[in-house]
Structure 1
Amino acid sequence: MTAAHETSTRNQRPFPYALRSFSIRFVDGEIPGEVAHWIQAVALGFYGNAPTPDMSKHYVHTEQVDGRVVTGAYLSDSVAPAGAWGVEYPVATYAYHRKTLNIGSGTLLPVHQITAVTVRPSHRRRGLLRAMMSSDLAQAKAAGLAIAALTATEATIYGRFGFGVATHECGVEVTVKGGIAFHHPAAAARGTVEVADASTILDLHNDVFAKVHGFTYGSIGRHDMYRHTASGQGSYESMDPVKNIRAALHYNAAGEVDGYVTYKPLEDAARSTVEIVDLLAATEGAYLALWNFLGSLDLIDCIKWGQAPEVDPLEWAMVSKRDYKRTKTEDLLWLRILDVPAALAARHYQQDGSITIHVGDPLGHASGSFRITVVEGSATVTKLVEDLSAQDPLAPGSSAQDPELSMGIVELSSLYLGGVEARTLAAAGRIHENSAGAVARFDALFRPAHAPHCLTHF
């Protein structure tokens, strides 16, 4: 998750900061001072509770599992005023870990996941975010990562670094008083669902998520803290167990756990409500069966969930579609293509064909014109020209070797999973069609077999 408020400035100022990177880890069983100070700075940036020694130890343990590498920006040529945090505390923070993204057809692509981005209010508009982001993205590309990813607390910051919205999540309220009536009840009765102690999810989570991750197009890897939060056994804020969290497991025909839901009651004066904490299902049958269980809870009028997919089978499985209400739709996963040929060649395509596109990238990682040729679902991507990183892809004369479409790296990154169509971005003025019918042919090539859905905040 990112929480920076950095904005660009035209005024050139001195840069009195040193950027230092290090791994989150224990040394001889203790937390190094630089790690402890970095954790404190992140908590400040996200308005979290000041970490206790026990919380910091738990944080380090989980982040060490993920192999998280962090960066801090430190004052290098001044002394902090008396009483203020010393120069050993970073004035800006940044972190990454690397997991995988489900890009369809059984492919899990390694991705560079950025998180914990903060800039102290007293040090904004001094180029800190740009310095950290530019350096990190360059290193990620040099390491062979084709895509970077993040989830953003604020929606107006990361486009200038090439990130585009790739998936959304929905907040839903499902009226369940008297149970959920399904068009085909048998579809929601596959396997069995049984109640379990929420603490069991701590050990089950990773295996279940691995199944879900492999099944769900657009899913991105989860960090270790997720299993603690999903089971009510702790979070970044507190290690106190959540006493009113409950769990249910779904078993398939072979008796294997292939899904679960954890949930808790909410205080709602208007109607009795349960909130889903985490819901994972590796099959459509497990998904509907878990909802069937939730609908059967006694004395409950409504189920709330904040991570429902944009295209939700539950909505269409219910006899009373009006009992399914979306309360919000919000961006979740942002992608940033670093290597166009590698990223586009990695994914599967539903239709064969070819198209030439021009991509503009202000940071220079992915600029150029590219010929995309798809045969039997696999793409060959050839770069046709030298980088044109300073050129506006929508400006007159921006085409090179007659590309049929011109776009920025933000737009291509949003189009990558097919969560938005090129015709929509063209209508928004964000893609330029140089050859009649090119938008339609691009959409035919990039149309996914399934709508992308991400279940991971980071």
Structure 2
Amino acid sequence: MGADTGTPGGTDYEIRRFRPRPASSPDYADTKRWIEAVHYGFYQKPGRDELTARIAESSVADDRELTGAYATAPAAAPALDAGRPVATFATFRKTLNVGHGVLVPAHMVTAVTVRTDHRRRGLLRRLMSEDLARAKADGVPVAALTASEASIYRRFGYGVATHERSVSVETGPRFRLAAPVRGRVVAAEPAAMLDLAPEIFARAHRAIPGSLGRQERYRLRAAGQWNEETGGEDHGVRVAVHLDEQGTPDGYAAYAFRGWETEPPTMELRDVVAATPEAYLGLWDFLGSLDLIERIEWEDAPVDDPLVWALEDPRVVRTGSVRDMLWLRILDVEAALSARKLAHDGELVLRIQDPLGFTDGRYRLSSSAGTAQVSRLAHDDPAQDDLVMDIAELSSAYVGGVSPVTLAEAGRIRVGAGRPAAATELARMLAVERPAHCLTHF
């Protein structure tokens, strides 16, 4: 939420970290107040008790840690309940696909809010810096978040790593794929997705650079058991599952009809997960043939989308907004880069600047036959630096979502005088096997 500057909160605030509790627990009150504070911070309507309880239940399943900042001074009337935190912060651990099927631990940050009447007192800086320090101490190489405001998180070392776009697809007679699809698509009972959705996603997760492990509510949404407004069932969800030529499920689409009052008749895609290109195009072939439907809308489409190139008439796909999606923050340069497979042999000296000091220093990155070797250099010789960048830039380029050449042309990376092609060389080293895309909002 809103930016927070100034000195750390000091004795004016108490920071409490705790595990969420379900509604059946005698300790549920703290979890409930914390969730209410998040709703307040994001200007959401107060959740019904059922929705709040479902959020708590899914938070338990995700093994989240909830952090709240609580004002220590008594609340003066008519201020909000003093038991409700004035700032919130949540984390959980999943994995990140960094290319070529390699998964690394990721520290996922979400539900970051600072209440307006407590801004500019250093709360966000305190919560973020303390949390990232703890994650680094745990040996987690990278942190991740999605940002409600793009201007906040660079000062903590985060960089945009993937983008997404909204699309509107005309599904009339102009919607035709240029080549026949493989496998087949079957309509499925949504309840089957409780087990099947995680299985399919696990395959897709290993296949798509930039993919993050998913939280509990994704399978519940695909199964029609999570209504975003109430937390109850969603009876409008339909599911299509793609089977490969051996009959193995390798993709699914969850979608819902917008209603006959919408013109033209429109289907809304809730989720599309495909472990193979064949599954992705097969699902679109199915969606494009839905009777009486003239338009498909999807908010989370990849920017570099094979569907556009697969269609005989790519103009049936209209792009709406394009926006940043996944932000990454490398916490340990040596661990993060050593975990990656590199696509090009070479050697570079990188000077990394870090606003929080976690990764400040000079590193030699070398690659041989795809294996990366990273070492921190003790001596300081600026003349030897091939590339100079903030940790945010290295984090942006880490999963191949943006080229270091683009960042250099934007003035975000400085290229050493002795190696004019250094940005190109780093781009080759960090190249991934297919376009990066994050399937998971959190």
TM-score w.r.t. length of structure 1: 0.91
Identity between Structure 1 and Structure 2 (%): 43
SS of residue paired to 2:96? strand
1:351 to 334, 344, 352: 344
CA deviation after TM superposition for structure 1 residue 53, in Å: 3.0
**Corresponding residue number in structure 2 for 1:419:** 401
Distance in structure 1 (CA, Å) of the matches to 2:27 and 2:36: 12
1:180 to 175, 180, 185: 175
Q: Does 1:382 align with 2:375?
A: yes
**Corresponding residue number in structure 1 for 2:244:** 252
Where in structure 2 are the equivalents of 1:121-270 lying within 5 Å?
121-178=116-173, 180-185=175-180, 188=181, 190-235=182-227, 237-266=229-258, 269-270=262-263
SS of residue paired to 1:411? helix
CA deviation after TM superposition for structure 1 residue 443, in Å: 1.6
CA contact (8 A) 2:166 2:321 kept: yes
Distance in structure 1 (CA, Å) of the matches to 2:62 and 2:363: 35
SS of residue paired to 1:126? coil
Query: Match for 2:224: what amino acid?
Result: G
CA contact (8 A) 1:6 1:127 kept: no
CA deviation after TM superposition for structure 1 residue 427, in Å: 1.2
CA contact (8 A) 1:99 1:110 kept: yes
CA deviation after TM superposition for structure 1 residue 184, in Å: 1.1
1:449 to 422, 433, 438: 433
CA contact (8 A) 2:98 2:209 kept: yes
Query: Match for 2:146: what amino acid?
Result: T
SS of residue paired to 1:153? coil
Query: Match for 2:46: what amino acid?
Result: A
CA deviation after TM superposition for structure 1 residue 248, in Å: 1.1
CA deviation after TM superposition for structure 1 residue 235, in Å: 4.2
SS of residue paired to 1:159? helix
**Corresponding residue number in structure 1 for 2:38:** 42
CA contact (8 A) 1:79 1:86 kept: no
Distance in structure 1 (CA, Å) of the matches to 2:10 and 2:21: 33
Distance in structure 1 (CA, Å) of the matches to 2:15 and 2:215: 25
CA contact (8 A) 1:95 1:116 kept: yes
Range 433-442 or range 277-286, more displaced: 433-442
CA contact (8 A) 2:302 2:437 kept: yes
TM-score w.r.t. length of structure 2: 0.95
CA deviation after TM superposition for structure 1 residue 239, in Å: 2.2
1:86 to 44, 65, 81: 81
CA contact (8 A) 2:227 2:233 kept: no
Aligned length: 439
CA contact (8 A) 1:164 1:410 kept: yes
Q: Does 1:18 align with 2:14?
A: yes
**Corresponding residue number in structure 2 for 1:391:** none
Query: Match for 1:442: what amino acid?
Result: L
Query: Match for 2:97: what amino acid?
Result: N
CA deviation after TM superposition for structure 1 residue 15, in Å: 5.2
CA contact (8 A) 1:181 1:320 kept: yes
CA deviation after TM superposition for structure 1 residue 359, in Å: 0.5
Deviations 1:154-211 (A, max 9, x none): 11110100000000111111111026312212xx2x1121112223323322111111
CA contact (8 A) 2:100 2:207 kept: no
Distance in structure 1 (CA, Å) of the matches to 2:174 and 2:289: 5
CA deviation after TM superposition for structure 1 residue 230, in Å: 2.8
1:303 to 283, 296, 301: 296
CA deviation after TM superposition for structure 1 residue 30, in Å: 4.0
Distance in structure 2 (CA, Å) of the matches to 1:240 and 1:89: 25
Deviations 1:226-279 (A, max 9, x none): 122233321453123233221111122232221111111225754222110111
Query: Match for 1:74: what amino acid?
Result: Y
Distance in structure 1 (CA, Å) of the matches to 2:214 and 2:116: 30
Where in structure 2 are the equivalents of 1:302-381 lying within 5 Å?
302-381=295-374
CA contact (8 A) 2:415 2:422 kept: yes
Structure 2, gaps ≥5 residues long: none
Structure 1 residues 57 and 286: CA distance shift in structure 2, 3 A: same
Deviations 1:328-350 (A, max 9, x none): 21110000000001001111111
Range 211-220 or range 224-233, more displaced: 224-233
CA deviation after TM superposition for structure 1 residue 303, in Å: 1.0
Structure 1, gaps ≥5 residues long: 389-398
SS of residue paired to 1:51? coil
